[in-house]
Amino acid sequence: MTPATPGPLLAGAALLGGAAGAWPVDGCGCVTCTAGPAGCGDLLGLALGRSLVLDGGRRAPDGAAHLASGSVDAVAAGARTLEVGDQVVAGPVRAVALPGPAGSPGAVAVVVSDGTSTLLWSPGRGPLPDETLDVLGDAGLAVAVVDVRDATGAASATSAAHRVADLRRSGALGPQARLVAVGLDHTGPAAHRLRADLARHGLTLAVAGDRPAALPVPDAVPPPRRTLVLGPASSGKSAAAEDLLAAEPAVDYAATGPEPDATDADWTAKVAAHRARRPRGWTTVETSAPGALAALLRSPGPPVLLDSLGTWVVAVLDRAGAWNDPTDDPTDDPTVSDPHAWRAAADAEVADLVDAWRGTRRVVVAVGEEVGWGVVPATRAGRLFAETLGDLSRRLAAQTERTLLVVAGRVVDLDSPAGPAGSPDPAAGGPR
């Protein structure tokens, strides 16, 4: 992969710091600090040669940028707070301040050009607003510096990937643009895992002293045609599946469960939490109707996230009348001519979905529940659900390029002997 070549001034731009707060903290034993390299600093700042310094950290928290002219050794001298719409010219460098990340009031995103190439500096919590993305359309950015923090301040590779997806959808990125992540502090996740997860989306976590235009460009790892993500309840499987498509400009979210209503507060809360995680560019497609999910997989379009197989199976069994089978009831209902007729209807829907999955031309990530790890369900309905879902999972896995298992939020690739997906090689000697 050959990145776009930045101009001479942007090629020399260097980070004064890439951390949202002090990281690592001296004497702290947290998983982030123990895995963090020394010298990360305690501010967010970028020096553009010796002519301009952007400071968005210690002096201006949460991404609100100061700009200083003059020596890098005296960044406070002549500093001014950038407001939206400000333009600053220093020699060949032109900096323009646009509205910054939505979760950091007062923050600005700064577009810097040296006449040859363009860089985006956008630290701060949350996504860039639509008005900024509109301005950045066709900008042909050679370097984009984005934050790993979401609007709440939580750091994750998924948040940074969503920023990249926004830039891709707006057309802001130039060919082979370098994607740089900043904003970690010692409240974030383990640094070595964050680095690995960022790399899968083509992002590099930067620290003080790094030159963004000179950082290696990791090869993003696009998901295969079909990925099956399995795990027990509340294991983090949905979040893991969403992360696989986080940098995609557009995704069809196949919702297989019923629409929430006032009868089930828990289900309503769960649906609301899932919706809140979905970024811009994701379209929800209701697929609980008969044949709707198979039809979606057979149609052309962007990648599909199917969540979940379990709720789809419940709908199939409900439509077929499986819960009314009196097999286990010694007083079989004589008015039912064929009490087992539901099986043919349910099997037909399952077979149709497996066929659509096998022949799909889309990238598809499906989430499924592993329900067979505990005791045998005490009820007939519970046993029927576990058997049907387990059979569907086995059939889909047989027609899948990659099957992942999620436990405690950690992902294990069942198709690879290398160990947990996204983890560094234990023999590599620590974080990279």
* pLDDT 10s digits, 211-232: 998 888 888 888 899 999 999 9
User: Measured between alpha carbons, how far is 99 from 106 in angstroms, rounded to an integer?
Assistant: 8
Determine whether 69 is exposed, middle or buried from the number of CB atoms within 10 Å of its CB (0-12, 13-18, 19+): middle
Query: Looking at the domain 8-214, which fold is it?
Result: Metallo-beta-lactamase; Chain A (3.60.15)
Question: CB-based contacts of 26: which residues, under 8 Å, 6+ apart?
Answer: none
Using DSSP, state whether 263 is helix, strand or coil.
coil
Domain borders along the chain are 8-214, 226-413
Domain with residues 226-413, CATH architecture? 3-Layer(aba) Sandwich (3.40)
Question: CB-based contacts of 61: which residues, under 8 Å, 6+ apart?
Answer: none
Hey, how many other C-beta atoms are within 10 angstroms of the C-beta on 266?
A: 8
Using DSSP, state whether 428 is helix, strand or coil.
helix
Task: Report the pLDDT value the prediction gives residue 49, as an integer from 0 to 100.
Answer: 67
Q: For the whole model, what pTM was predicted?
A: 0.86
- Helices (H) and strands (E) counted in the chain, each on its own, are 11, 19
User: Measured between alpha carbons, how far is 257 from 286 in angstroms, rounded to an integer?
Assistant: 8
Task: Report the pLDDT value the prediction gives residue 139, as an integer from 0 to 100.
Answer: 93
Tokens 């407001």, residue located: 83
> How do strand 173-182 and strand 203-205 relate by DSSP bridges?
parallel
Task: Report the pLDDT value the prediction gives residue 143, as an integer from 0 to 100.
Answer: 94
Per-position DSSP letters for 298-333, written without gaps between them: HS--S-EEEE-HHHHHHHHHHHHTGGG--TT-SS--
The terminus-to-terminus CA distance of the chain in angstroms comes to 20
For residue 56 the two structure tokens come to 């968005």
Among 162, 203, 231, 195, CA closest to 410: 231
* pLDDT 10s digits, 109-164: 999 998 889 999 998 899 999 999 999 998 999 999 999 999 999 999 999 999 99
Task: Report the pLDDT value the prediction gives residue 338, as an integer from 0 to 100.
Answer: 61
Task: Report the pLDDT value the prediction gives residue 272, as an integer from 0 to 100.
Answer: 78
Cα–Cα–Cα angle for 254, 270, 201, rounded to 5 degrees: 55
How large a percentage of the chain has pLDDT more than 90?
48
* pLDDT 10s digits, 63-85: 445 554 433 333 334 567 788 89
User: Measured between alpha carbons, how far is 6 from 25 in angstroms, rounded to an integer?
Assistant: 34
Task: Report the pLDDT value the prediction gives residue 58, as an integer from 0 to 100.
Answer: 45
Cα–Cα–Cα angle for 213, 216, 217, rounded to 5 degrees: 90
| 420 DSSP 8-state letter | B
Please tell me which residue, 259 or 16, carries the higher pLDDT value. Answer: 16
pLDDT at 90 over 80: no
* pLDDT 10s digits, 234-289: 899 999 999 999 999 999 999 997 777 777 777 678 777 777 778 999 999 999 89
Task: Report the pLDDT value the prediction gives residue 60, as an integer from 0 to 100.
Answer: 39
Q: What is the pLDDT of the chain when averaged over all its residues?
A: 83
* pLDDT 10s digits, 325-357: 665 444 455 555 565 788 999 999 999 999 999
Q: What is the 3-state secondary structure (H, E, C) of 196-254?
A: HHHHHCCEEECCCCCCHHHCCCCCCCCCCCEEEEEECCCCCHHHHHHHHCCCCCCEEEE
* pLDDT 10s digits, 367-417: 999 987 766 777 888 889 999 999 999 999 999 999 999 999 999 999 976
Determine whether 203 is exposed, middle or buried from the number of CB atoms within 10 Å of its CB (0-12, 13-18, 19+): buried
Among 190, 163, 194, 155, CA closest to 179: 163
For residue 295 the two structure tokens come to 């039809």
Among 361, 387, 415, CA closest to 229: 415
pLDDT at 321 over 50: yes
Please tell me which residue, 313 or 42, carries the higher pLDDT value. Answer: 313
pLDDT at 201 over 70: yes
Domains 8-214 and 226-413 share a fold: no
